[in-house]
Amino acid sequence: MQFDYEFRSRRSNIIAHNGMVASSQPLASLAGLDILRAGGTAADAAVAIAAMLAVVEPFSTGIGGDCFVLYWDASTKTVSALNGSGPTAQSANLEELKSSGYERHPHFTGHAVSVPGTVAAWDALLQRFGRLSLADTLAPAIKYAIEGFPVTELIGSGWPLMIDRLLRINNDPAQPKHLQHPGPAQPSGNEFLIDGRAPRVGEMMTLTSLGETMMQIASEGRDFIYEGDFAHKACDHIKLYGGWLEPSDFSGFKAEWIEPIHADYRDVRLYECPPNGQGLAAIMATKIANEFNLSSMNEVERIHTLIECMRLGFLEALRWVADPHFVGIPYENLFSEDYVQKQVGSIRAKQAIKNLPVKITPSGGDTVYLSVIDGEGNGCSLINSLYFGGGTGLVVPGTGVMMQNRAALFELDPHHPNALLGGKRPYHTIIPGMLTKEGELLASFGVMGGFMQPQGHLQVLSNLVDLRHNPQQALDTPRFCLNINDGGGVGAEDPGGEVFIEKGFDFDTLAALRNMGHRISPVSGRQRQIFGGGQVIQRDFESGVLIAGSDPRKDGCALGW
């Protein structure tokens, strides 16, 4: 079956009152809705969806990954942030990598694996805001992992791309040849294949080992991952591929409740998780964009302004996002009116800023984002990820757990705030979003996909507020994605990187943006995955009516009751 990347079908908003879920796979959305109907909170439903996605969309998320959450508590009318990202090994050694010939951190070796924070985050979320047990929320995922599920279109179209990584056929191109770690003769990635091949779209797939691991978590709780045999198995396997992790790095790990950061935009407030996540990029871009009247602009002016605001937002994120337990973040200066106005003053109406020292590269859509609002008005915005598709591709034998490669985002410059250091958490791209208005929850939303995420947040926010789009319209609208991978440009006329533009923009708009100095590259077909996939659930706080949209760029849907 050939997957259609043209997204021709029209979607209506889903409208309900008693509860709403939205995710990138229908069975996962259904699992969350069933939990709500059984009396669970938004937290309970979110964990059920995340666990189900680890089964039905296994190369985007899983037990071996990390998780960030924003949660709206309707009883206290407050937003809480949860950081479920783990640190790299205490013995991680930057100089060892550099002396071995690495110029950047490798992505697909054991060095890239940090302690997976997912299960600790699920547990912390349920402990604070849930009514059901971890076992209750894992039950749907366990059932489908053991009994099987039909593979959906977009997920199935990407599955064959993972074969080489699962079977360790090709090494990381950044890895010096003398440091290649071929690992076992029979790679454990076969647990995600059928006789060495990927399942076909529509074919039934079982992930028995993963289901059995989830059964153990349901029985023993979070300690099964962090205090028992799993940690030993994971570390032994990671070391076969050059990694540093020890069981002692897993032991005692806990997800961390933190204060979110926010930016006011017109009459709404955007909340993001603070560093070590890149929510700072979205907050800075939003603060700058708030100084422009985007609703009165034409499409060219609005897109130009949003691009410039986003580039300036990334400028700050790439300077400062790091583990705040190791590096101080200068919020007072960054969020000051004087500094924001200085950034605003650097944006020209008809000319792209030249030579910004920013370096980012689109990294695809290998993450899952989900949103839930329950009938009591509690909201959960949750993002779960392995980073690159399938993370490292390293599967802990007999467990069905694929290990992420989040540590690959460390810098090898020892003077950078995000420099690799033992026990430190890396820069994280995954960010959930949340909007409030007049002290009430307005929307739980997010757009996943590497460095696309803050860009997606800004664009969806502008669509909702400036263009007054409904949730589905806000997601359907074509997007831009920055590709600033040349260190800021070479010549005086180089604005510092490409702007990928999704199919759907008017040709005249593209021409006008080029005339302003933007290097515009139209994108269609499979490459459209760089624009990520999002979910939006909006709530009318007077009537309690919920309105949801689900991104047509993914396989999923919103469901309500």
Contacts of 12 (CB under 8 A, 6+ apart): 472
Closest alpha carbon to 285 in 315, 255, 260: 315
Helix 208-220 / helix 134-147 crossing angle, nearest 10 deg: 160
Whole-angstrom Cα distance, residue 552 to residue 376?
28
| Cβ count within 10 A of residue 125 | 29
Identify the active-site residue in 61, 109, 137, 367.
Answer: 367
| Cβ count within 10 A of residue 333 | 9
Whose tokens are 């296994």? That residue is: 58
Whole-angstrom Cα distance, residue 224 to residue 218?
9
Helix, strand, coil tally for the chain in percent (to 5)? 35, 20, 45
Helix 452-465 / helix 299-320 crossing angle, nearest 10 deg: 140
Whose tokens are 């460095």? That residue is: 451
Distances in Å between the Cα of 378 and the Cα atoms of 408, 431, 444, 446, 504 are 35, 19, 10, 16, 35
Q: Is 241 left (phi over 0), alpha (psi -120 to 50) or beta?
A: alpha
Hey, which residues does 522 pair with through a beta bridge?
A: 501
Whole-angstrom Cα distance, residue 248 to residue 225?
12
Vertex 501: Cα angle to 308 and 1 (nearest 5): 150
**CA neighbours within 13 Å on the CB side: how many for 144?**
22
Hey, which residues does 447 pair with through a beta bridge?
A: 534
| 367 catalytically annotated | yes
Whole-angstrom Cα distance, residue 386 to residue 404?
4
Q: Which residues are catalytic?
A: 367
